[in-house]
């Protein structure tokens, strides 16, 4: 199996070298746990270091957060965009028609195809529910999206907003079954932590590890451990 390096120092040590190629990984966590920064670093690393084209689709967050992060972490995105190695799109669920999730899925696939993306981020999959009120249809659409991305050999991260509790992995209770991997981020002030809950085809690490956001971006401390009991319910 080919592995896709995450670009997050320390993380690949927990997952046998990287994400399984063509997999879709759910990145879940409460507000401000670092989901968006994690995702942009994943794409930036792929584009800058490995020449792998990446697409970032943001659904709810304004581009200002992306811009702040770009400045703080000194990610020079423009040359990558010019070389077709990076594309950032803002989809507006609230403005677009509801109940047209299939159309939105097709739009995402089209964006990925347009630069032959090897990496893709949807931030967040939770906001997909704007387009679909029926949970059964939502499940089917997310399933289809993941299968289409797999066909493109596109390794994807789907962020998921939770209430931040240690046992809440997703919002609708289905996302974690559809995805090939689940990574959970926690923030119990002042400590940030990360745990791999699932990674298909991988003998992944089972412990909670500290991780941090610094001026250099995000990184995982694969040696140190945080007790599960210390996380909030």
Ligand X SMILES: Nc1ncnc2c1ncn2[C@@H]1O[C@H](COP(=O)(O)OP(=O)(O)OP(=O)(O)O)[C@@H](O)[C@H]1O
Binding-site member from 6, 23, 28, 36 for ligand X (CB under 6 A): 36
Binding-site member from 10, 18, 20, 29 for ligand X (CB under 6 A): 29
Helix 135-151 to helix 101-114 angle (10° resolution) is: 20
The H or E element that residue 119 is part of is strand 119-123
- State the binding string over 209-228 for ligand X (x if CB under 6 A, else -): ----xxx-------------
Q: Are residues 160 and 168 in contact, defined by beta-carbon separation less than 8 angstroms?
A: no
Q: Which of 55, 196, 52, 217 is nearest to 122 (CA)?
A: 55
Q: Segment near ligand X (CB under 6 A), from 2-10, 29-37, 99-107, 198-206?
A: 29-37
Asked whether position 34 contacts ligand X by CB under 6 A, the answer is: yes
Of 137 and 219, the one with the shorter C-beta distance to ligand X is 219
Asked whether position 90 contacts ligand X by CB under 6 A, the answer is: no
Other beta carbons within 10 angstroms of residue 113's beta carbon come to 13
Give me the least distance between CB of 129 and ligand X, in Å please.
Answer: 15
Other beta carbons within 10 angstroms of residue 203's beta carbon come to 8
- State the binding string over 26-65 for Mg ion (x if CB under 5 A, else -): ---------xx-----------------------------
What are 41's two structure tokens?
């670093």
Asked whether position 32 contacts ligand X by CB under 6 A, the answer is: yes
Of 26 and 213, the one with the shorter C-beta distance to ligand X is 213
Binding-site member from 1, 13, 31, 96 for ligand X (CB under 6 A): 31
Asked whether position 170 contacts Mg ion by CB under 5 A, the answer is: no
d(CA 138, CA 129): 7
Give me the least distance between CB of 218 and ligand X, in Å please.
Answer: 8
Q: Is 152 exposed, middle or buried (0-12, 13-18, 19+ CB in 10 A)?
A: middle
Asked whether position 86 contacts ligand X by CB under 6 A, the answer is: no
Q: Are residues 204 and 16 in contact, defined by beta-carbon separation less than 8 angstroms?
A: yes
* Residues lying near Mg ion in the complex (CB under 5 A): 35-36
């Amino acid at each position: 199996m080919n592995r896709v390096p995450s670009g997050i120092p320390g993380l690949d040590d927990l997952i046998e070298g990287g994400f399984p190629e063509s997999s879709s990984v759910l990145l879940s966590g409460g507000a401000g746990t670092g989901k968006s920064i994690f995702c942009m670093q994943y794409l930036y690393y792929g584009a800058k270091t490995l020449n792998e084209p990446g697409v970032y689709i943001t659904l709810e967050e304004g581009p200002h957060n992306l811009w702040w992060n770009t400045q703080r972490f000194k990610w020079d995105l423009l040359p990558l965009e010019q070389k077709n190695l990076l594309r950032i799109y803002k989809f507006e669920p609230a403005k677009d028609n509801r109940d047209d999730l299939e159309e939105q899925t097709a739009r995402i696939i089209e964006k990925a195809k347009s630069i032959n993306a090897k990496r893709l981020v949807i931030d967040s999959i939770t906001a997909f529910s704007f387009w679909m009120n029926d949970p059964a249809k939502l499940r089917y659409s997310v399933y289809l999206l993941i299968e289409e991305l797999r066909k493109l050999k596109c390794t994807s991260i789907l962020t998921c907003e939770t209430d931040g509790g240690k046992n809440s992995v997703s919002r609708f209770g289905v996302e974690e079954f559809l995805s090939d991997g689940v990574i959970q981020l926690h923030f119990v002030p002042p400590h940030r932590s990360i745990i791999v809950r699932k990674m298909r085809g991988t003998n992944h690490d089972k412990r909670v590890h500290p991780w941090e956001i610094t001026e250099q971006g995000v990184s995982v401390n694969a040696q140190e451990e945080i007790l599960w009991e210390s996380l909030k319910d």
